[in-house]
Amino acid sequence: MAAIPKKPSPKPAARRAKPSKGPAELPDQARERIAMKAYELWGQRGQRHGHAMQDWIEAEMIVTQDLHEARP
């Protein structure tokens, strides 16, 4: 009779890789500004659905540019 292989046990939580806070993460205030700008763009588009990602990316670019221009 063949032995049934054991399933590998999951790694303990302490060993799991923790997500790093990298340049892709935004402060909550910037994320809120982007969301508000994306909503504004959606309204300018005539509130048509199906372009949420495009509105978000455009809003992200606008807000990021504004933040960089505001730097001393």
The reported pLDDT for the residue numbered 24 is 56
Predicted pLDDT at 30: 87
pLDDT above 90 (res 59): yes
Kindly state whether residue 42 falls inside one of the protein's structural domains: yes
Lowest-pLDDT range of 27-31, 32-36, 47-51, 60-64: 27-31
Q: How many domains in the chain?
A: 1
Return the pLDDT at 72: 73
Please check whether residue 19 lies inside any domain of the structure: no
> Is the whole-model pTM more than 0.75?
no
Predicted local distance difference test score (pLDDT) of residue 36: 95
First vs last Cα of the chain: how many Å apart?
75
Place of tokens 């763009």: 41
Length of the chain: 72
What's the half-sphere exposure (Cβ side, CA atoms, 13 Å) at 13? 0
| CA 34/CA 38 separation, integer angstroms | 6
The domain containing residue 66 runs over which residues?
Answer: 26-70
Is residue 2 assigned to a domain?
A: no
CA quadruple 38, 43, 48, 49: dihedral sign = positive
5 is a domain residue? no
